[in-house]
Amino acid sequence: MNGHIYGYIRVSTVDQNEDRQVVVLKEKQVPEQNIYMDKQSGKDFNRPQYKKLVKKLKPGDLLYILSIDRLGRNYEEIQNQWRILTKELGVDICVIDMPLLDTRNGKDLMGTFIADLVLQILSFVAQSERENIRRRQAQGIAAAKARGVRFGRPPRPLPENYDNVYQRWKLGEITGAEAARECGMPLPTFRYRAKTYEKTRF
């Protein structure tokens, strides 16, 4: 091989660790300085390290990735990036977990056809998985809300004088604006807290 060897890693900042990908790339003799890593979602290719990598790649270079979903999770964009890398830049790609996706093998028509077919299937599966995860998350949030689980920051505690101010406001002794001012909160906030306070008093 005449070109350089590169590796690309993508991990989620939330639930994934890059160690396994790093180990596998080093086993493939990828120089440490040629390993590029992004810690962000695979929904698109607007990733700083990936962009730096693409600018570095030259015809004849070889790019290793562990699996197709490390490249991305958007069906159309994966195929588009694959075309840019292999056709426009003249780079070979090897997906380590899927030997059929190694553009060094089968440079003939049949080999190219098989690689393109496998790529389409895997990129479709990657996007489907992402959409299923989002759907399950939405369903879980909806179910939690139905059970009364509250999301977001908890409300600030009421001031010590709130009960006294609330009672005077309810009796008409002071206006809402005066009550809100005594409690140190905006009028809409005072009214909102008054509704919930009424429900929790008994």
Please list the active-site residues.
12
62-65 and 92-95 strand pairing: parallel
Q: Which residues does 166 contact at the CB level (< 8 Å), separation at least 6?
A: 179, 194, 197
Sign of CA dihedral 48, 99, 121, 3: positive
Q: Which two tokens stand for residue 4?
A: 């350089």
| Structure letter (DSSP) for residue 102 | B
Least Cα distance to 56 among 87, 34, 86 occurs for: 34
